[in-house]
Structure 1
Amino acid sequence: MKGLLLLPLLWASAAHGAAPQPAAALYQQHCESCHGATRLGAAGPALLPESLGRIKPDEVRKVIANGRPASQMAGFAGTLSTPQIDALADYLQQPPATPPTWNDHDIRASHRLLADLSTLPSTPQHHADPLNLFVVVEAGDHHINILDGDRFTVLDRFASHFAVHGGPKFSPDGRFVYFASRDGWISLYDLHNLKLIAEVRAGLNTRNLAVSKDGRWVLVGNYLPGSLVLLDARDLSLVKTLPATGLDGKTSRVSAVYTAPPRNSFIVALKDVKEVWELSYAGTPNFEPRRIAAQDFLDDFSFSPDYRQLLATSRKAQGGQVIDLDSGNVVTDIPLPGMPHLGSGTYWKRNGDWVFATPNISKGLISVIDFKTWKLIKEIPTLGPGFFMRSHVNSPYAWTDVFFGPDNDAIHLIDKQTLEIAHTLRPMPGKTAAHVEFTRDGRYLLLSIWDTDGALIVYDSKTLREIKRLPMNKPSGKYNVGNKIEFAEGTSH
């Protein structure tokens, strides 16, 4: 079966007149041509447990039965019986008998140049403000939209690889944007010319990527294989692979990678090793990690505004752990009862002092922390657990969703000075509302309705009046070029 796992006695029904078949044989017959003999992906995405981790089993069954709209994925409800579909769905969520590998040779073999940069104009070939463009991830059918942030019109829409994840990142001048998909593909897109330039598969299951402050390097963090992959930002060619191995010899998944501009370095979160890594890209770097010992497994990060201190989720601390990046010492633990996804928090100045606020993914609370003392200032009760929180220096509010609660169609607006809920909006009752991003000047904001029949809704940030509604298929994140390259207050980094 070409290396596939043959599940013992997992036989499909003989309905539709077919002889009983093991699920591996069903895969070989119906799926292999698009998804690869070893399930690593080809024309279709990888079908490994790590790649399907966030997709519920019932959703996997529905896709096998009904296909995916606006994709090459056809439905098999007329070909396979319900027991056959169930068997195939169960099979895809089991690991292959032989663990898949992806090495430097595989990375280099996957590299594709799609356009010759030397022949393209170096100035924008459209009439939109290049620093007020939005990159919008349309997750429902795996597409990217490039949006004019002044007119709120789509300049380009193109297919992405499966499940873009971790947020696109930009070159320092805002010309290029880099995407990472969950099944390891990294893509380079030219926002001046609205054209894909290059792509490479850096891993089999990728978490996210970061771009150096000087625009020279791209660092990719992988779950599978556990590694960091360094790419040349100009064309995505491979520079170096670093196994994510702790001092104790244990291999780790990479939870996330970030760039820390004032430090001229990348910061790396390791999921299975009690270490934080810092990789300097100053001067002529060798990219050997500086290992900072942690007291716990740290899953996700946020930073103080000056990037001197790191706030990481820690189950041992039942919340957050603060690490001083200069000394490498743990400063304090912070109780955060709902285990936040810290990269989705935000910060602002309140009475002249920086505060950090984050929703919590298992409890309906916003935790507000003083950056100077690392003390909890307030817990703001919400309608349910949330995921994303965003603001802008010119907005009086921090916008937060209640993504994981029964009231997930609601959005709270937190007054940044009183720390009270000033408004609660329900943009499309019954449909999940999440993830806000502001225009560069903060005058307008874009909000997502995460539904197949969803929308991108544009609001006036002062009057809260709806300006425009663009129908989209489950728009997830959206990212403003100017806010991102300037590391603007209130947005994600």
Structure 2
Amino acid sequence: MTPHPLSKPLAAWLYAVPALLLTLVLSGCAGAPPAAPLVQGTGDLGLVIERSTGSLQLVNTSRRELMGQIQGLGDLSHASLVYSRDGAYAYVFGRDGALSKVHLPSLRVVGRVQQSGNSIGGAISQDGRWVAAQNYEPGGIKVFDAETLALLADIPAEFEPGKRSRVVGLSDLPGQRFIFSLFDADQIWIADLTGISAGQQPKLQKFKNVGHQPYDALVTPDGRYYIAGLFGEDGLAKVDLWAAEPRVERILAGYGRGEQPLPVFKMPHLRGWAVAGRHAYLPAIGRHEVLVVDTETWQEVGRIAVAGQPVFVMARPDGRQVWVNFAVPDYDQVQVFDTQSRQIIQTLKPGKAVLHMEFTPRGESVWISTRDSHQVTVFNTANFAVQAVLKADTPSGIFFTSRAQRSGF
């Protein structure tokens, strides 16, 4: 096949099959419809957030190149996104409370709703029909039709009459369910949207007194546990979602701040926790350590000293390596340790203000954004060689379309 004769970067997108060849092939098929051009799949694409310009860079992870820019996304200073099941659409949650629907093949914003005053993320349902945004102002979550962005449900995080909590740690669950934490109410809620229609309220299951100030959370890769970090006290809150009657259990008491409060320069992102084999590798709040936790017992079994306060602690897809970036003043570094030896095997300095890392689906490369160096650097994870350096304006989050097939992303 030969590239379609369009100007770059769109030329890299479309690959046309010559009409004459198709005519010959199909001439023996009575009633065959006219052939349409073949369109490149989206499986090796991704988006990089350019936080100061309210734009996205579309990237190809196989060719390690920029495909084009998508503008008009508003305030992306703390933005994240999720993908439709086919990877053709991204749903972008802006800090200004806007939810935008972006079509990757055409590099266009195809839908946008101003759904709150302050939003910090969202999730998409297991079947891809519903998109949920978690909001600080007003506190709660809103659920939208993924096709039209029409509002399905508004779920205020009202924990006392007239009092709403900021919502954090939103994640999808099997079934038409979402789970999230209420930072100001010390609660975790599950919303079940099974069978509801627009305007109906979902069934809510509420867990109270889960621990002080749950600030972020994740669901383990098998979908069994929801783990919320606690900012206001030592330890974490765990919900066993497979239990007949789920309840909250406190785990890892004393792991984070220790006996005396330590300054925290940037809160760790729990979505960056690494689960590799039987162990989880967690950022220790305020400490220059990564905790090693047995996921069978949820007991600490080791600590790994690192260069600074860890923010993202992320496992290569095969689980053999864990990559760590840090809060100020060490945010120009990335360290890599081996999960078998638990030893640091590489320290990298890709640029100023490392904000995010994203592995290609099979882990042969990792993409690292450096906000103040205005670039994304791609490293070979086997030998740590630089494979590409791509220019971007204040890049932050990196999101590959492979996330579309993973729960909790």
Same fold (TM over 0.5): yes
Which one-letter code corresponds to 1:178 in the other structure? Answer: Y
Cα gap change, 1:346/1:448 in structure 2, threshold over 3 Å: closer, same or farther?
same
The whole-number CA distance in structure 2 between the counterparts of 1:288 and 1:478 is 34
Structure number having the greater strand percentage: 2
Residue 385 of structure 1 contacts residue 403 of structure 1 at CA under 8 Å; is this kept in 2?
Answer: yes
Match of 1:272 among 184, 194, 206: 184
Q: Distance in 2 between matches of 1:318 and 1:463?
A: 38
How large is the Cα RMSD of the aligned pairs? 2.3
2:249 matched to which residue of 1? 331
- Confirm or deny that 1:398 pairs with 2:322: yes
Residue of structure 2 in register with 1:346 after alignment: 274
Aligned partners of 2:332 and 2:184: how far apart in 1? 35
Aligned mates of 2:117, 2:250 — CA distance in 1: 36
Per-residue deviation, residues 263-305 of structure 1 (Å, max 9, x unmatched): 5410011111132111123344752321122332322112233
Rounded Cα–Cα distance in structure 1 between residues aligned with 2:326 and 2:155: 38
Kindly indicate whether the alpha-carbon contact (under 8 Å) linking 1:459 and 1:467 is maintained by their aligned counterparts in 2. yes
Report the alpha carbon displacement of residue 199 of structure 1 after superposing the two structures with TM: 0.2
2:105 counterpart (171, 192, 197): 192
**1:382 aligned to 306, 316, 321, which one?**
306
Equivalent residue in structure 2 for 1:456, among 369, 373, 376: 376
Q: Which residue of 2 aligns with 1:409?
A: 332
Would you say 1:132 and 2:44 are equivalent positions? yes
Instruction: After TM superposition, list the pairs within 5 Å mapping 1:274-289 onto structure 2.
Output: 274-284=186-196, 286-289=201-204
Distance across 2 between alignment mates of 1:125 and 1:197: 22
CA distance in 2, matches of 1:314, 1:208: 19
Q: Partners in 1 of 2:96 and 2:121 — Cα distance?
A: 11
Q: Is this contact kept in 2: 1:208–1:221, CA < 8 A?
A: yes
Structure 1 residues 307 and 394: CA distance shift in structure 2, 3 A: closer
Q: Are 1:486 and 2:405 matched, yes or no?
A: yes
* Count of matched residue positions in the alignment of Structure 1 and Structure 2: 357
Give the whole-Å Cα distance in 2 for the aligned partners of 1:284 and 1:227. Answer: 18
Q: 269, 287, 290: which is aligned to 1:366?
A: 290
| Paired residue type of 2:146 | A
Alignment deviations for residues 328-387 of structure 1 (CA, whole Å, 9 cap, x no partner) = 3223321331574322212111xxx2x211223422111121111000121111111121
- Counterparts of 2:406 and 2:76, CA distance in 1: 25
Q: Distance in 1 between matches of 2:178 and 2:324?
A: 28
Which residue pairs with 2:218 in the alignment? 302
2:380 is equivalent to residue 467 of structure 1: no
Q: Is the 8 A contact 2:49 2:79 kept in 1?
A: no
Q: Give the Cα–Cα distance (whole angstroms) in 2 for the partners of residues 402 and 204 of structure 1.
A: 29
The one-letter amino acid of 1:380's match is I
Does the 8 Å contact 2:95/2:118 carry over to 1?
yes
TM-score, normalised by the number of residues in structure 1: 0.68
Distance 1:301 1:395 in 2: 21
Deviations 1:192-228 (A, max 9, x none): 3332210001100112111111111111111111122
Distance of 2:84 and 2:95 partners within structure 1: 21
2:281 corresponds to which letter in structure 1? Answer: A
Unpaired segments of 5 or more residues in structure 1? 1-122
TM-score by length of 2: 0.81
Asked if structure 1 preserves the Cα contact closer than 8 Å seen for 2:239 and 2:247, the reply is yes
Q: Post-superposition shift, 1:475?
A: 1.0
> What CA distance in whole angstroms lies between the structure 2 residues aligned with 1:193 and 1:244?
37
Q: Which residue of 2 aligns with 1:148?
A: 60
Q: CA deviation at 1:432?
A: 2.3
- Give, as a single letter, the amino acid of the residue that structure 1 aligns with 2:289: L
In 1, Cα distance between the equivalents of 2:350 and 2:196? 50
Task: Report the structure, 1 or 2, having the larger helix content.
Answer: 1
- 1:249 offset after TM fit, Å? 6.0
Q: Give the 3 Å change call, closer, same or farther, for CA 193–254 of structure 1 in structure 2.
A: same
Gap change, CA 1:192 and 1:287, over 3 Å in 2: farther
2:316/2:323 contact within 8 Å kept: no
Residues 340 and 358 in structure 1, CA contact (< 8 A), matched pair in contact too: no
Q: Distance in 2 between matches of 1:126 and 1:165?
A: 32
Deviation at residue 229 of structure 1 after TM alignment? 1.3
Report the Cα distance in structure 2 between the residues aligned to 1:124 and 1:444, rounded to whole angstroms.
Answer: 31
Contact 1:411 1:434 (8 Å CA) reproduced: no
**CA spacing shift, 1:125–1:272, aligned 2, 3 Å:** farther
**SS in structure 2 at match of 1:193:** coil
Report the Cα offset of residue 136 of structure 1.
Answer: 0.6
What residue number does 1:421 align with?
344
Equivalent positions of 1:442-453 (< 5 A) are 442-451=363-372, 453=373
Paired with 1:459 and 1:301, the residues of 2 have a C-alpha distance of 28
Asked if structure 1 preserves the Cα contact closer than 8 Å seen for 2:142 and 2:155, the reply is yes
Kept after mapping to 2: 8 A contact 1:346/1:356: yes
In structure 2, C-alpha distance between the alignment counterparts of 1:146 and 1:164, rounded to whole Å: 18
Q: CA deviation at 1:182?
A: 0.5
Aligned-residue sequence identity (percent) comes to 26
Change (3 A) 1:144 1:361: farther
| Separation in structure 1 between the aligned mates of residue 238 and residue 359 of structure 2, nearest angstrom | 29
Which letter does structure 2 place at the counterpart of 1:341? H
Tell me how far apart the structure 2 counterparts of residues 124 and 163 of structure 1 sit (CA, whole Å).
Answer: 35
Q: 1:315 to 1:467 in 2, by over 3 A?
A: closer
Q: Distance in 2 between matches of 1:473 and 1:308?
A: 38
> C-alpha displacement at 1:176, in angstroms?
1.3
Q: Which range moved further: 365-374 or 319-328?
A: 319-328
Using the TM superposition, give the Cα deviation of residue 126 of structure 1 relative to its aligned residue in structure 2, in angstroms.
Answer: 5.4
Query: How far, CA to CA, are the matches of 2:64 and 2:168 in structure 1?
Result: 34
Distance 2:52 2:286 in 1: 25
2: CA distance between counterparts of 1:426 and 1:269? 35
State the structure with bigger RCO (CA 8 A, min sep 6), 1 or 2. 2
Q: Is the 8 A contact 1:197 1:235 kept in 2?
A: no
Q: In structure 2, what is the Cα distance between the partners aligned to 1:157 and 1:328? A: 45
Indicate yes or no: 2:226 matched with 1:226: no
SS in 1 for 2:311: coil
Work out the CA distance in 1 between the residues paired with 2:92 and 2:159. Answer: 27
Question: How far 1:169 moved relative to its partner?
Answer: 0.5
